[in-house]
Amino acid sequence: MRSMSENLPTGSGSVADDSLAAWFSELPGLVCDATWAVGHVVERERMARETYRLRIECPAIAARILPGQFVMLRPAEGTDPLLGRPFALFDVADGPDGTARQFDIGFVVVGKLTRRMSRWEPGCPVAVWGPLGNGFPTEYQGHLVCVAGGIGQTPFLAVAREALGLRRYGSPPRQPASQSRRVTVLYGVRSAELLAGVEAFRTAGAAVFVSTDDGTQGHRGLVTDLLAAMLGQPLPAEQASATTEAVRNLPRPDRILCCGPEPMMQAVARLANEHGIPCWLSLETPMACGFGACFSCVVRVREQDGWDYRRTCVEGPVFAAERLAEW
Ligand SMILES: Cc1cc2nc3c(=O)[nH]c(=O)nc-3n(C[C@H](O)[C@H](O)[C@H](O)COP(=O)(O)OP(=O)(O)OC[C@H]3O[C@@H](n4cnc5c(N)ncnc54)[C@H](O)[C@@H]3O)c2cc1C
Ligand code: FES
């Protein structure tokens, strides 16, 4: 097999039509429709403490990316850091001709690249791989509930807009078979200063209910308290709040989507299972390549005859909750 460095692309292009295609074809099951491109930052907005939104001009990816898919980003110049980092689609924005030319990601500063990204200025060139991953299923219906923990809210703006029929994504723009009548976002963070994008969700027509660990906004406690209340479960008096009582009056969810820290997603999966509600989880498993080659992102999933490992980057990041073997 040729080494990857011999085949690394030197400009924008689809892996289906440049030298990488040959390399990919030697490894069955790899993503073949992702594009490698150099985009440019056009906007950086501070959304919350250590949390930013970047808008990147990159028509090749903006036109095709779907809610729940992600991109790998790294600086376009130099080799530090060497590996790209995965970021979920937050939303896309159109150019003057009405087609998607830019995409947004939202991120929190945790380490090397995200600290650097928090200083990227308009014009900064960015290497982008994408669209990657499977995205959320589009059988939208009834009451869609998105449960987000921390920066796990980022995949849900595009989901809400698509589910409510406000925006079509992909090329050609896809038309989901059905729409949701109502989208509710249950959004938990450690403290109010970390809340990011709440107004964007409300503008998209979603109702947002907040929990904070320290009680600085909304329900004091876990976001799973809100879901438990919505599902009609009794809560001990000390866990009840105005927010838990408000969500208790909402209709039962028809499906639940979730993204956030693993213990939170496990609790959401258990609640959904107990109440017989279909649930999908978007995993944030650390990834090295993002396109199926390195196996750094495997997760155990249930199979008919037991279990097997699956790569989160190509067969996820979205999995039906009941497929995750150890959850
Ligand atoms: C499919 C997918 C979508 C994602 N979407 C978003 C998003 O929309 N917004 C966002 O802010 N982040 C998102 N992440 C997480 C994001 O990729 C990491 O925060 C990022 O890689 C950190 O890069 P860094 O160079 O700043 O940190 P590094 O310097 O690489 O690491 C700093 C610290 O963070 C830890 N770390 C790195 N990645 C992860 C991870 N995935 N889970 C837990 N700990 C980690 C490292 O172990 C280390 O301790 C997503 C991850 C995945 C897999
Ligand atoms: S990140 Fe390399 S195989 Fe998934």
87 lines ligand 1 (CB under 6 A): yes
Does residue 115 have a pLDDT over 90? yes
Mutate to test the pocket of ligand 2, among 71, 134, 294 (most ligand atoms within 8 A of CB): 294
Does residue 13 have a pLDDT over 70? no
> 17 or 176: whose pLDDT is higher?
176
The pLDDT tens digits for 169-198 are 999 999 998 999 999 999 999 999 999 999
**Tokens encoding 50:** 């250590």
Measured from the Cβ of residue 199, the count of other Cβ atoms closer than 10 Å reads: 11
The pLDDT tens digits for 266-280 are 999 999 999 999 999
The pLDDT value given to residue 33: 76
Does residue 76 have a pLDDT over 50? yes
Residues with CB under 6 A from ligand 2: 287-290, 292-297, 311, 313
The pLDDT tens digits for 31-56 are 567 899 999 999 999 999 999 999 99
The residue contributing the CA closest to ligand 1 atom 47 is: 286
Task: Compute, in angstroms, the gap from residue 108 CA to the centroid of ligand 1.
Answer: 9
> Which domains does the chain show, CATH number per domain?
4-132 (2.40.30.10), 143-281 (3.40.50.80)
pTM exceeds 0.85 for this model: yes
Query: Measured between alpha carbons, how far is residue 230 from residues 140, 187, 245 in Å?
Result: 19, 13, 8
Distance CA 212, CA 68 (A): 25
Q: How confident is the model at residue 20 (pLDDT cuts 50, 70, 90)?
A: low
Dihedral (Cα; 187, 155, 112, 189), 10-degree rounding = 0
Q: Which ligand is nearest to the CA of 260?
A: 1
Mean pLDDT of 298-327: 90
Q: Which residues pair with 40 in a beta bridge?
A: 57, 125
Task: Compute, in angstroms, the gap from residue 168 CA to the centroid of ligand 1.
Answer: 28
Task: Compute, in angstroms, the gap from residue 64 CA to the centroid of ligand 2.
Answer: 21
Distance CA 279, CA 322 (A): 8
Q: Which ligand is nearest to the CA of 283?
A: 1
The residue contributing the CA closest to ligand 1 atom 46 is: 111
